[in-house]
Amino acid sequence: MLYLDAFFRFTGIGLMLFMCLLCLRDLNKSTTSVFFYWAFLSLIFYFLGFIPDRYQLPYYLKLSFRILDVPFFVFVWFFVLSLFKKDFKPGLPYVVIAIVYSFFILMERLVQFRFVDHLPLWWAWVVNISPIALVLHLVIVTLIERNDDLISKRRKFRVLLVYITAIMTIIITGFSFYILKHYEYNIYQPTVSIIAIWPIIFLVSYWLMQMNAQALAFDEVKNKGKILNARDTELKQKLDTEIIENRAYLENGLSIQSLAKRLGVNSYRLREFINQILGFDNFSTFINGYRIAAVKKELANTTKAHIPILSIALNNGFNSLSTFNRAFKSSEGMTPSEFRSEISSS
């Protein structure tokens, strides 16, 4: 069992170190790359600290690793969310959840190293159930956001990553619940956890070793402005008619599937066209461009100065103020309020 543990543990550490070097070379300093580094750095500490007793790691070194790996699942959570949400930044609710989760894990670590005498029995249940709740959130976000990505290979990779993460969490949590009643199997927990996590490390490293860093990033597509052939020109005219003349962007539930159906093409063809010809990597970015242009026109209209910004945003296809503010600032470099004030003062 020790040899099995050593294989998965140290190959995992090696792959993670290699991935960090590859990403440092190939990825820009995006939110995704930042969470990637923190997720895998804390996971390396997890691999180094959560070990069978037969490794005989010095006490203070093991203590350091176990303290440093406390937030590893939070960073994995943030990392995966950043894959599906462009320009993702953890807001206050995310930060609060991260702090509370890390506090529960930290207290458990302090008990393990005898800095704290004991914790209530329900504490272990909270620690084991919390990752399931975070993974459930990831699955929900995946189901909602997956169709927004216009790059097929990247979309499939990201969905697969979420599902493997869910399976990993179920295995680790299930075994943790099992040893609550069968403590004699506790010696196998570090090995089971490492083996459950290893497929995620292998999957991500496989993509990066293929130099497919785009699977982990929202890179700007460089095909924008490509010369259109007759087939593309026809689709562009249909798309302009539906989006601009019929103002399809006003529908806040507009999906690429429903738009493709209106245009009489399959969704794969439309994804490819918007990505490869128009130069957008996300459907929401493409549609929000029209929405923001319409919002800017209304904000600049002095006769509509009395209309709240939220009303203008909702009337132009956005389904929430937070989504609108994020999209507007990403596009214009300022908030809607600042834009309106600037227009008014000029």
Domain ranges within the chain, ordered by starting residue: 2-216, 230-345
Judge contact between 137 and 97, C-beta under 8 A. no
- Mean pLDDT of the chain, nearest integer: 86
Q: Which fold has domain 2-216?
A: Rhopdopsin 7-helix transmembrane proteins (1.20.1070)
Contacts of 176 (CB under 8 A, 6+ apart): 124, 127, 128, 189
252-294 per-position pLDDT tens digit: 888 899 999 999 999 889 998 998 888 888 898 899 999 999 9
Q: Which residue bears the tokens 């399931």?
A: 132
Written as one string, the DSSP assignment of 84-142 is: HSTT----HHHHHHHHHHHHHHHHHHHHHTTSS----HHHHHHHHHHHHHHHHHHHHHH
Give the torsion sign (CA, 320, 321, 326, 331). Answer: positive
Instruction: Please say if the pLDDT value at position 222 is more than 60.
Output: no
Segment 171-194 shows an average pLDDT of 83
CATH number assigned to the domain with residue range 230-345, chosen from the 4 options 3.30.465.10, 3.30.310.50, 3.40.228.10, 1.10.10.60: 1.10.10.60
Return the pLDDT at 216: 56
Segment 230-237 shows an average pLDDT of 90
Task: Give the number of other Cβ atoms within 10 Å of residue 272's Cβ.
Answer: 15
Return the pLDDT at 295: 93
* pTM for the full predicted model: 0.76
Return the pLDDT at 144: 81
Return the pLDDT at 231: 87
Six token digits for residue 325: 């503010």
Return the pLDDT at 27: 59
Phi/psi class of residue 321: alpha, beta or left (left: φ > 0; alpha: ψ in -120 to 50)? alpha
Task: Give the number of other Cβ atoms within 10 Å of residue 234's Cβ.
Answer: 13
Angle at which helices 189-209 and 31-49 pack, to 10 degrees? Answer: 150
Kindly list the distances between the CA atom of residue 62 and the CA atoms of 124, 137, 304, 321, in Å, as whole numbers in the listed order.
21, 31, 63, 46
Measured between alpha carbons, how far is 173 from 78 in angstroms, rounded to an integer?
20
Res. 212 pLDDT band, cuts 50 70 90: low
